Amino acid sequence: MLKRLAAIFQAKANKALDRLEDPREMLDLSYEKQVEMLRDVKRGIVEVTAARRRLELQAEELRAKLPTFDAQAMQALKNGREDLARIALERKASTQAQIESFEAQVANLRAEQEQLVQAEQRLQAKVEAFRTRKEVLKAQYTAAKATVRIGEAVTGLSEEMTDVGYAIQRAEDRTAQLKSRGQAIQELLESGVLEDSLGGTTGIDRELEALGRQASIDAELERLRAAMAAGEANR
């Protein structure tokens, strides 16, 4: 019995572990993580592109101011104000430096954007390849699990078959015990060791009753013989 209980417990424990360690769920979880990483890269590309575009717009705005500084310097020289012309040209030079700084940052962001796009493409390809592989593995696992379950059911190794076999064995054992007990009680009743609670007689009582009935039959036969003999004598 202990071996059977251990087998049942082991079967239930293995089934619980299978549910906890289902590789199909692990594959789906890994795929979701990769998809989330891909989303992060895409968001990064959008953010870098937006930042680059903002810098380009700022550089364009500054570039549009350069002719104004030239006009201001020219007007100051016409009015004999070289000092004002110098200030206008200094502003132009400062603005030009800002434009160059923006352009450098734009170039860096464009390079970063290109790298992110390439990384996104590579990651996209990997995610698609993993998704295909994941579905294949899930299908193979499902098929293998079904095959094992069918094999276990056929050979009686599954949990259900173990429980059924245990129940059948218990029923057979109990039936054999009851039959043995019934036979023992019947033998004791017949031997007179136990009294019949319903009839109130023992085996000895039944033998005595049988002897009594035999004696009565013998007496009846003697009576009939005597009657026949008397009839013949009267003739």
The tens-digit pLDDT sequence of the chain (235 residues) is 555 555 545 555 555 555 557 888 898 999 999 999 999 999 999 999 999 999 999 999 999 999 999 999 999 999 998 999 999 999 999 999 999 999 999 999 999 999 999 999 999 999 999 999 999 999 999 998 888 888 877 776 556 666 767 778 888 888 888 888 877 777 776 666 655 554 555 566 667 677 777 777 777 777 777 777 777 766 6
Q: Which of 99, 106, 102 is nearest to 48 (CA)?
A: 106
Q: What angle do CA 85, 86, 87 make, to 5 degrees?
A: 90
Q: Domain 2-157's class?
A: mainly alpha
Distance CA 90, CA 105 (A): 23
Residue where the block lists tokens 């030079």: 93
Task: Say what the pLDDT of residue 38 is.
Answer: 92
Q: Which of 70, 108, 109 is nearest to 90 (CA)?
A: 70
Task: Say what the pLDDT of residue 189 is.
Answer: 66
Whether 127 and 35 have beta carbons less than 8 Å apart is answered as yes
Task: Say what the pLDDT of residue 105 is.
Answer: 95
Whether 142 and 24 have beta carbons less than 8 Å apart is answered as yes
Task: Say what the pLDDT of residue 203 is.
Answer: 62
pTM: 0.53
CA distances from 26 to 29, 57, 134, 166, 182 (A): 5, 47, 10, 35, 59
Q: Please, what's the b/e burial string for 7-35 (b: 16 or more CB within 10 A of its CB; e: otherwise)? A: beeebeeeeeeeeeeeeeeebeeebeebe
Phi, psi of 22 (to 5 degrees): -65, 110
